[in-house]
Amino acid sequence: MKIETILSPSLFSQIEDIDKKVVVVIDILRATSTITTILANGASAVIPVKEESIAREYKSKGYLVGGERGGETIAGFDFGNSPFQYKKEIVFGQEVVLTTTNGTKCIEMASSAHQVVVGSFLNLESVVKYIKHLDKDVVLFAAGWQDRVNLEDSLFAGAIASSFARRDCDDATQMARDAYSVAEGNLFETLQNTNHFQRLASKGVTKDIEYCCEVNVISSVGVLKDGKISLVV
């Protein structure tokens, strides 16, 4: 297994033979952490959509719909992008539609991969176990922020990489791995000076960030199939 890391969506087109590879989409603050939580709370699926207009079409058909742009909840939607909003008693057994600034766009970009896996610190160990089971080359796809590199997604790529031999990792993966070796066990504190932390903290969602930095509190893994993310069975 070879591991490569894409630190920005603007670099994703450089990936070769994507249909033969497993892509782990990473948007720690907050899309992939929220998707992982929605599924853990019993939703039957999450439908990720890139465009707000498509999400509104689902809303008009009676679906539960969540979404944000620039960290702000989209007016008229049932939820924003906070994992705490998707309570079990609301989402259990439901298909939930989600559109976000960065994460859902990247899920769509990766949709032609052999398998798309949703990654978060919340289920880190389970994601590693699952992609090892697939035994395919892996792309760690960091959503970043508006095509810019961010630290939290890079650290998660490094966390994944730390479970693989260094010789199997490309340069970007080794950089992420080295960064994670410094931040491991101190994620929340490490992120406090980052741009995205400060953007979200200014909106009063520091609690979300703390939650998204928790490690291995969820054992399930979400994968994309036919446009919907559901749990690995």
Question: Where in the chain are the domains?
Answer: 3-221
pLDDT at 66: 97
CATH for 3-221 is: 3.90.1560.10
pLDDT of residue 226: 96
Grouped pLDDT means (10 residues each) for the chain, 233 residues: 97 96 97 98 98 97 95 93 97 98 96 98 98 98 94 98 97 98 96 91 92 98 98 89
Contacts of 38 (CB under 8 A, 6+ apart): 46, 83, 86, 91, 96, 98
**pLDDT at residue 76 in the model:** 95
Whether residue 12 contacts residue 60, with contact meaning beta carbons closer than 8 Å, is answered with no
Report the C-alpha gap between 156 and 159 in whole angstroms. Answer: 5
Query: Tell me, what's the pLDDT at 233?
Result: 75
| Strand, helix or coil for residue 223 | strand
- Tell me the CA end-to-end span of the chain in Å, nearest whole number: 23
Nearest to 102 by CA among 221, 172, 6, 230: 6
**What does each C-alpha distance from 199 to 103, 193, 211, 214 come to in angstroms?**
16, 10, 16, 20
> Among candidates 229, 230, 190, 182, which has minimal Cα distance to 209?
190
- Report pTM: 0.97
